[in-house]
Amino acid sequence: MDKKNTPLSKLFLLIIFLILYAPIFFLIFYSFNSGGNMNHFKGFTLDWYKELFHDSRLLIIVLNTVLVALLSSLIACIVGTFGALGIHSIRKKRPKNALLALNNVLIVSSDVVVGASFLILFTLAGIKLGMGSVLLSHIAFSIPIVVLMVLPKLQEMSPSLIDAARDLGASRWNVVTKVIFPYITPGVFAGFFMALTYSLDDFAVTFFVTGNGFSTLSVEIYSLARRGISLNINALSALMFLVTMLLVVVYYFISQRNKSSRLGVKK
């Protein structure tokens, strides 16, 4: 099975990646265009970026987006981890599978449906649309993701670890904090990052539940694009792309460090 990659297969891979990344690089390329449109490149400029940083409204939106993402992922992480613990502790197969299925349905169901139903719920419950409603809905759609990332770690953990901890005198709470949490931490982190990315780039759900005066980046870009093409959007998208890449790199290093630190001395 140790076949060498032929030049043709390498070329194929190259073309695929070019096609996938071309639109993004095209967009970034024109964010440096002094021409003001995407038809032809006139000259290099950073004006669009300058304009972006002078637009305080946009900066507030960026802050809002990040805040909502961090808060919602954090809360979803806590709720989701306990949810996974709960599902894991169920002995009987049928209710366990039923709960898991309910969890998974939330992940696969269409964002539009989720968004619309949240809108109806918030309106019925009398919750004012704005940051609160966006935060609530983001927490809600992040929880199933966290559950799904944490559960495999719990399942891979030998049940005798818990017995062993009890045997050595640990109370139930000690067992959770000293044995279970350290064991599932990688899963919780993965869940947090997943929730973060889902929240950062969610458009559909947010679009439904965001009121006047509150907006997130994806919703803002959408409304900017509807008003007409401005290279502002390009600059903003380029920055977002950069941040995403940074996140990926950071995540990579964290996971690398986790692996290597197990080899060395650790307290």
Partner 1 sequence: MTNTIIEFKNVTKQYDNDSPVLDHVSFEIERGKFYTLLGPSGCGKTTILRLIAGFTEASVGDIYFDGKKMNDVPANKRQVNTVFQDYALFPHLNVFENVAFGLRIKKLKESVIKQKVQEALTFVNLAGYENREIREMSGGQRQRVAIARAIVNEPEVILLDEPLSALDLKLRTEMQYELRELQRRLGITFIFVTHDQEEALAMSDEIFVLNRGKIQQSGTPIDIYDEPINRFVADFIGESNIVEGRMIEDYLVEFVGGRFECVDQGLNPNEAVEIVIRPEDLEITTKERGKLKVKVDSQLFRGVHYEISCYDEDQNEWLVHSTKKANVGDEIGLYFDPEAIHVMRFGESEADFDRRLEAYDHGDAHEQ
Binding residues for partner 1, rule: CB under 8 A, are 158, 160-161, 163-171, 174, 178-179, 182-183, 262-263, 265-267
Rounded to a whole number of angstroms, the minimum distance from the CB of residue 47 to partner 1 is 52
Rounded to a whole number of angstroms, the minimum distance from the CB of residue 89 to partner 1 is 15
Q: Which is nearer to partner 1, 69 or 179 (CB)?
A: 179
DSSP character string of the chain = --PPPPHHHHHHHHHHHHHHHHHHHHHHHHTTBTTSSSSS---B--HHHHHHHH-HHHHHHHHHHHHHHHHHHHHHHHHHHHHHHHHHH--SHHHHHHHHHHHHHHHHS-HHHHHHHHHHHHHHHTPPTTHHHHHHHHHHHHHHHHHHHHHHHHHHS-HHHHHHHHHTT--HHHIIIIIIHHHHHHHHHHHHHHHHHHHHT--HHHHHH--TT---HHHHHHHHHHH---HHHHHHHHHHHHHHHHHHHHHHHHHHHHHHHTTS---
Q: Which is nearer to partner 1, 35 or 152 (CB)?
A: 152
Rounded to a whole number of angstroms, the minimum distance from the CB of residue 165 to partner 1 is 7
Q: Which is nearer to partner 1, 226 or 267 (CB)?
A: 267
Q: Which is nearer to partner 1, 5 or 160 (CB)?
A: 160
Q: Which is nearer to partner 1, 20 or 265 (CB)?
A: 265
Angstrom distance (rounded) from CA 13 to CA 231: 31
Rounded to a whole number of angstroms, the minimum distance from the CB of residue 164 to partner 1 is 4
Rounded to a whole number of angstroms, the minimum distance from the CB of residue 12 to partner 1 is 39
Rounded to a whole number of angstroms, the minimum distance from the CB of residue 82 to partner 1 is 20
